[in-house]
């Protein structure tokens, strides 16, 4: 082997021209060489952008947070809210950019926990980003693009809003009422009521003297029944009213009992707390007495003064607790008595409440008419008129008016066997089946419609209220724009309440929604003053050229940190300063039974690590080379791989193979080389002595540079991995420290 040639001295480079130009271009050359930390550059550029984002977001937010100029609370709220938004935006942007870049560049394993973390971070980022971008858009749209808020100076009449909304609502209510009338008339069960009524009217018109006399007697009997029913109803009403009074008295008494129980509970609780405190004090003093008796007070193991004093205090606390417990019996018994009386009144009030509800229902129920028609012709005339009205506007009121006129004719016809074929045997002069439900619902609509007309009619209640609002607006000074805005808002509140109440009298959900939207649109179009926030909100969804430009600028600045972090992580491997790795001296990776088990496991890992895509290496434990390893070596290899998986440096794919990062493989190789370095030094020494002249493995691993190099003191890991030298090798190798 030839002698080692010392390295040549570097030749001085000739001085180049334009040194200043080279100094200016040095950063670009450094960037092109990949020696600049893009993360730090991005952070330096991002900080001023974040300051500007803070300014634009706070400027857009202060329009709605600040009630008036100089509002300190609004300014403080804007500062706090903007700070919170930007802190969350910066943290989520940084984390999300790093995670997405790592997933795309396959630097991290796409495990379930990693994906969930990325999704949650993305959700929070989108939420915070949307808020920040909107308020930044508000700033740009209202200031940069010169679209300041508009003010409507003309005096508005609230009655115009009422006419704009209430008139269509009234028209829709009338149409729904007419449609419900037609629905009831077309119902088969209501037709089954009108057809027998027509048959009875025709039968009465052609009745003979006998049938007329029977009808008169039936009317007299009906009058007697009506009189008795009226008397009974009056008696029941009076009884129900008495029950209502008793129910109110019972409620008042139960309320008084509840207050008494609450007061007693407070007294009882305070006494119980005092008893518990005294009991705890007695136990503590008794324990101190026991401790003193056992000599823990450093005065001997006998019950001396300390022991007797503690026991006296314990007995005193017990006596006081017993005294309080005796005084507690009175409030406890009084409370139990009050609760018992309250429960009895509650059970009694159930029946009283039912009677009171009956009284309220009976008061609303119309009383039956006690008078009858003078003769059959008048009865037929009234019955025919009611029948015609029922065909146009069916209601329970008209049915109840027609029933006393129909029943005498029906009873007389049945008794005289003159009942026509169109009248069923079970006909009772009132509708049956679905018609009853339809008529009941219609009565509720009629009552609600009457209340609606009284409250929301343009000629009745609503007009008076709007006139009062207009009077307040006119009485306010001309410079008081708040009075105009408040008055118009009050008018809109009245109109919206009328629209919502129209739902009960025929307006559908869609109609109510459309009318409310119409009212809101009218207010937005005629408001006395519209703020910048509302203008920006409308413009945000208008997508005009100006608003689109403002949206783009706002989103770009708010997403700047995320984009910078994402791009710096994506291109980090291409531009970051890498350590120039030189090919290390080859290491013998064959399995040697004389080597430690952990070194054999690392060698097996290096032998079986097969490079795959994504800068990863695949290790198949089912391969024949690993299966044939000794059990202890294979167990150590599995343990090392499992630890890498737990540290999220490696993962297991669907096939059950271990996927390890190539950087980790290189680290394992470096550790193995460091552990085998003493052997390499011995090989170098043998080579220098001439033992490598004939070739062989020692000649192959001989490295004169390493053999003559001054080695640092071995680390703890190297000393652990390096086997102790035998007696024959104790003096081998250089003795460098």
> How confident is the model at residue 313, as a pLDDT?
84
For residue 490, being part of any structural domain is answered with yes
Residue 45 vs residue 511, higher pLDDT: 511
Residue 625 has pLDDT above 60, yes or no: yes
Q: Same domain for 163 and 258?
A: no
Q: Is the domain of 691 the same as that of 619?
A: yes
Predicted pLDDT at 172: 84
* Residue 702 reports pLDDT greater than 80: no
651: β partners: 659
pLDDT of amino acid 215 = 66
**C-beta of residue 300 within 8 angstroms of C-beta of residue 325:** no
Q: Is residue 25's pLDDT more than 60?
A: yes
Same domain, 383 and 498: no
Does residue 723 sit in the same domain as residue 654? yes
556 and 525 in one domain? no
Average pLDDT score over residue span 7-26: 56
Residue among 270, 268, 264, 269 nearest 342 (CA) = 264
348-367 pLDDT tens trace: 777 777 776 766 665 555 55
Residues 345 and 248 grouped into a single domain: yes
| Distances 640 to 314, 511, 644 between C-alpha atoms, Å | 66, 71, 6
Token code pair at residue 474: 């006119």
- Identify which has the larger pLDDT, 586 or 280: 280
Q: Is residue 45 part of a domain?
A: yes
Which pLDDT score is estimated for 456?
A: 81
Range ranked top by mean pLDDT from 214-228, 297-311, 680-694: 297-311
Strands (DSSP E) along 261-304, which ranges?
none
Query: Is the model's pLDDT at 514 over the cut of 70?
Result: yes
Min mean pLDDT across 30-34, 397-401, 597-601 is at 30-34
Same domain, 698 and 710: yes
What is d(CA 486, CA 527) in angstroms, rounded to the nearest whole number? 10
CA distance 703 to 685: 9
Confidence of residue 33 (pLDDT cuts 50, 70, 90): low
Region 612-620: mean pLDDT is 81
Provide the pLDDT for residue 734.
39
From 364, 380, 402, give the residue that closes a domain. 364
> Is position 673 within any domain?
yes
The pLDDT assigned to 10 comes to 47
Instruction: Specify the residue for token string 């499992």.
Output: 642
Res. 705: pLDDT tops 60: no
Assess whether 244 and 359 both reside in one domain: yes
Give the separation between CA 568 and CA 575, rounded to whole angstroms: 9
Give the chain's mean pLDDT.
73
Q: Is the pLDDT of residue 152 over 80?
A: no
Is 434 inside any structural domain? Answer: yes
Domain of residue 559: give its range.
32-150+549-573
Mean pLDDT of 207-229: 65
Q: Does the pLDDT of residue 258 top 80, yes or no?
A: yes
- pLDDT tier at 696 (50, 70, 90 boundaries)? very low
Same domain, 636 and 714: yes
**Can you give the pLDDT at residue 150?**
37
Q: Does 231 reside within a domain?
A: no
573 pLDDT band, cuts 50/70/90, is low
% pLDDT > 90, the chain:
0
DSSP letter string over 519-562?
Answer: HHHHHHHH-SB--HHHHHHHHHHH--HHHHHHHHHHHHHHTHHH
Q: What integer is the mean pLDDT of 538-566?
A: 76
580 in a domain, yes or no? no
pLDDT of residue 698: 42
Q: Which two tokens stand for residue 137?
A: 């858009």
Q: In the prediction, which pLDDT does 43 show?
A: 66
pLDDT, position 220? 64
Mean pLDDT of all residues in 392-397: 83
H or E, element range at 652: strand 650-652
Q: Are residues 77 and 144 in the same domain?
A: yes
* Residue 200 placed within a domain: yes
Indicate whether 232 belongs to any domain. no
- How far apart, in whole angstroms, are the C-alpha atoms of residue 390 and residue 378? 18
Instruction: Report the alpha-carbon angle 185-191-196, nearest 5.
Output: 135
- The answer to whether residues 285 and 347 belong to one domain is yes
pLDDT at 82: 83
| Total number of domains in the chain | 5
Q: What is the pLDDT of residue 400?
A: 83
Is 121 a residue whose pLDDT tops 80?
Answer: yes
Choose the weakest-confidence range: 121-135, 224-238, 513-527. 224-238
């Amino acid at each position: 082997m030839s002698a080692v040639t010392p390295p040549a001295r570097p030749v001085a480079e000739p001085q180049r021209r334009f040194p200043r130009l080279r100094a200016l271009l040095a950063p670009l050359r450094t960037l092109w060489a990949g020696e600049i930390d893009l993360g730090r550059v991005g952070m330096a550029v991002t900080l001023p952008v974040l300051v500007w984002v803070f300014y634009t977001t706070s400027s857009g937010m202060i329009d709605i947070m600040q009630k008036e100029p100089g509002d300190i609370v609004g300014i403080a709220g804007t500062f706090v809210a903007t700070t919170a938004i930007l802190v969350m935006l910066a943290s989520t942007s940084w984390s999300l950019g790093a995670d997405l870049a790592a997933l795309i560049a396959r630097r991290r394993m796409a495990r379930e926990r990693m994906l969930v973390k990325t999704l949650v971070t993305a959700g929070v980022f989108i939420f915070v980003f949307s808020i920040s971008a909107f308020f930044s858009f508000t700033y740009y749209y209202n200031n940069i693009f010169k679209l300041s808020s508009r003010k409507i100076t003309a005096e508005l009449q609230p009655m115009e809003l009422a006419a704009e909304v209430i008139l269509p609502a009234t028209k829709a209510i009338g149409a729904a009422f007419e449609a419900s009338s037609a629905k009831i008339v077309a119902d088969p069960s209501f037709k089954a009521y009108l057809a027998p009524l027509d048959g009875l009217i025709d039968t009465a018109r052609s009745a003979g003297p006998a049938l007329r006399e029977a009808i008169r007697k039936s009317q007299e009997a009906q009058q007697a029944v009506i009189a008795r029913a009226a008397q009974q109803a009056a008696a029941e009403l009076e009884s129900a009213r008495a029950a209502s009074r008793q129910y109110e008295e019972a409620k008042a008494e139960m309320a008084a009992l509840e207050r008494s129980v609450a007061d007693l509970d407070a007294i009882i609780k305070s006494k119980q707390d005092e008893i518990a405190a005294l009991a705890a004090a007695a136990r503590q003093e008794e324990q101190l007495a026991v401790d003193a008796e056992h000599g823990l007070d450093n005065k001997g193991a006998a019950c001396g003064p300390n022991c007797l004093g503690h026991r006296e205090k314990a007995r005193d606390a017990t006596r006081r607790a017993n005294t309080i417990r005796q005084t507690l019996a009175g409030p406890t018994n009084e409370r139990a008595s009050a609760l018992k009386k309250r429960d009895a009144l509650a059970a009694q009030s159930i029946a009283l409440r039912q009677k009171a509800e009956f009284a309220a229902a009976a008061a609303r129920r119309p009383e039956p008419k006690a008078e009858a028609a003078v003769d059959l012709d008048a009865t037929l005339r009234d019955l025919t008129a009611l029948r015609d009205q029922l065909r146009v506007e069916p209601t329970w009121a008209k049915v109840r008016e027609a029933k006393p006129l129909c029943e005498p004719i029906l009873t007389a016809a049945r008794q005289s066997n003159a009942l026509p074929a169109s009248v069923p045997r079970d006909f009772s002069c009132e509708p049956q089946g679905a018609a009853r439900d339809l008529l009941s619902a219609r009565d509720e609509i009629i009552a609600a419609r009457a209340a609606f007309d009284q409250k929301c009619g343009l000629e009745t209640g609503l007009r008076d209220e709007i006139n009062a609002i207009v009077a307040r607006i006119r009485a306010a000074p001309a410079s008081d724009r708040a009075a105009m805005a408040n008055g118009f808002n009050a008018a809109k509140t009245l109109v919206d309440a009328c629209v919502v109440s129209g739902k009960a009298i025929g307006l559908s959900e869609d109609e109510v929604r459309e009318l409310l939207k119409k009212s809101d649109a009218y207010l937005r179009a005629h408001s006395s003053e519209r703020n910048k926030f509302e203008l920006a909100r409308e413009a945000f969804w208008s997508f005009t050229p100006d608003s689109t430009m403002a949206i783009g600028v706002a989103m770009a600045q708010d997403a700047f940190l995320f984009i910078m972090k994402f791009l710096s992580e994506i291109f980090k491997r291409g531009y970051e300063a890498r350590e120039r790795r030189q090919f290390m001296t080859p290491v013998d990776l064959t399995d040697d039974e004389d080597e430690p088990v952990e070194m054999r496991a690392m060698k097996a890992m290096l032998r079986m690590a097969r490079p795959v895509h994504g800068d990863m290496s695949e290790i198949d434990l089912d391969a024949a080379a690993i299966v044939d390893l000794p059990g202890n070596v294979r167990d150590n290899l599995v343990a090392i791989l499992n630890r890498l998986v737990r540290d999220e440096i490696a993962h297991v794919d669907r096939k059950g193979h271990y996927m390890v990062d190539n950087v980790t493989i290189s680290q394992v190789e470096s550790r193995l080389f460091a552990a085998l370095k003493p052997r390499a030094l011995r090989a170098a020494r043998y080579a220098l002595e001439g033992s490598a002249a004939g070739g062989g493995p020692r000649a192959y691993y001989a490295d004169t540079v390493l053999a003559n190099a001054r080695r640092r003191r071995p680390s703890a890991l190297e000393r652990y991995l390096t086997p102790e030298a035998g007696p024959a090798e104790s003096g081998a190798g250089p003795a460098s420290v």
